[in-house]
Amino acid sequence: MLTDAAAGNKTSGRAIAIRVLGLMPNDAKALRLAEKALSDDKSDVRSAAAAALGDMKARSSIPKLREVLDDQEPSVALAAAHALILMHDGDAYEVYYEVLNGQRKSGKGLIATQASILHDPKKMAELGFEEGIGFVPFAGIGWAAIKVIKKDDSSPIRAAAAKVLARDPDPATTIALVDAAGDKSWLVQAAALEALAIRGDPSVIDTVKPYLSDENAIVKYTAAATFLRLTAIQEKNQNLKTLKK
């Protein structure tokens, strides 16, 4: 049944059949069907294939998922990025960096033209609320916070990207998160500050300080927790240096 649906003419049917293959992590045939669907002519099906491979934790498919990171449809690239994150593959951070920062560190982008979905707040919001929720982990960002955001606001998906980037070891990402802490959206600010806390780099303490007096309680309290965590790390590092001497 699933094989027939995956090869059917109806896009929605193909997408559903491919997406549920993720429930069969050790099935070789399911793996082959999902990998084949990565080259489907419909983006919904390609997204479903990437998501399914992520659910399978299909490490043998990592090279194919890396190729999909350059898909011209952002929803597909995000699905592939999330799948790679689930398998702890660092190549995925490029996509999240672009969502947060507007461009990739490598210079490449999801779409070559200026009409990119990343420059269209309304479409970005649609991606975040509809497709993106399936692929982008919102982690600690509460649903109540998401609901208050206007439909034409891209901040939820950018905040989610900031959360994922907390684990990116590239120093350039620290700079991007520092910039995001000054974003006009409090949701992005809070997510960026939380990511900086998780990264544990005391060099950004002075950057965090101004937000201790922010008017928004969520930003202010997140900044406070971040400041305390980074200060503790700094003190620990200093004590270790003293002991070594």
Does residue 103 belong to any structural domain of this protein?
A: yes
Residue 33, pLDDT above cutoff 90 = yes
d(CA 29, CA 27): 6
Does residue 58 belong to any structural domain of this protein?
A: no
**pLDDT digits 0-9 by tens, 187-223:** 889 889 999 999 999 999 999 999 999 998 888 988 9
Residue owning tokens 């689930």: 86
d(CA 74, CA 158): 13
Closest to 74 (Cα-Cα) out of 124, 139, 34, 37 = 124
> What is the model's pLDDT at position 110?
59
Q: Which amino acid is at 207?
A: T
d(CA 15, CA 4): 12
> What is the model's pLDDT at position 104?
77
The 3 state secondary structure assigned to the chain is CHHHHHCCCCHHHHHHHHHHHHHCCCCHHHHHHHHHHCCCCCHHHHHHHHHHHHHHCCHHHHHHHHHHCCCCCHHHHHHHHHHHHHCCCHHHHHHHHHHHHCCCCCCCCCCCCCCCHHHCHHHHHHHHHHHHHHHCCCCCCCHHHHHCCCCCCCHHHHHHHHHHHHHCCCHHHHHHHHHHCCCCCHHHHHHHHHHHHHHCCHHHHHHHHHHHHCCCHHHHHHHHHHHHHHHHHHHHHHHHHHHHC
The rounded percent of the chain whose pLDDT value lies above 70 is 80
Does residue 33 belong to any structural domain of this protein?
A: no
Does residue 18 belong to any structural domain of this protein?
A: no
**pLDDT digits 0-9 by tens, 110-162:** 554 434 566 666 666 666 544 444 434 333 444 445 555 555 567 777 888 88
Residue 86, pLDDT above cutoff 70 = yes
Does residue 111 belong to any structural domain of this protein?
A: yes
Does residue 15 belong to any structural domain of this protein?
A: no
- Work out the pLDDT band at 65, boundaries 50, 70, 90: very high
Ramachandran quadrant class, 102 (left: phi over 0; alpha: psi -120 to 50; beta: rest): left
> What is the model's pLDDT at position 136?
42
- Report the domain count for the chain: 1
- Work out the pLDDT band at 245, boundaries 50, 70, 90: low
| Domain membership of residue 96 as a residue range | 69-244
- Work out the pLDDT band at 50, boundaries 50, 70, 90: very high
**pLDDT digits 0-9 by tens, 153-191:** 677 778 888 888 999 999 999 999 999 999 998 888 988
Q: Which amino acid is at 133?
A: I
d(CA 136, CA 9): 28
d(CA 195, CA 147): 21
Does residue 110 belong to any structural domain of this protein?
A: yes
> What is the model's pLDDT at position 66?
95
Does residue 222 belong to any structural domain of this protein?
A: yes
CATH code of the domain in which 158 resides: 1.25.10
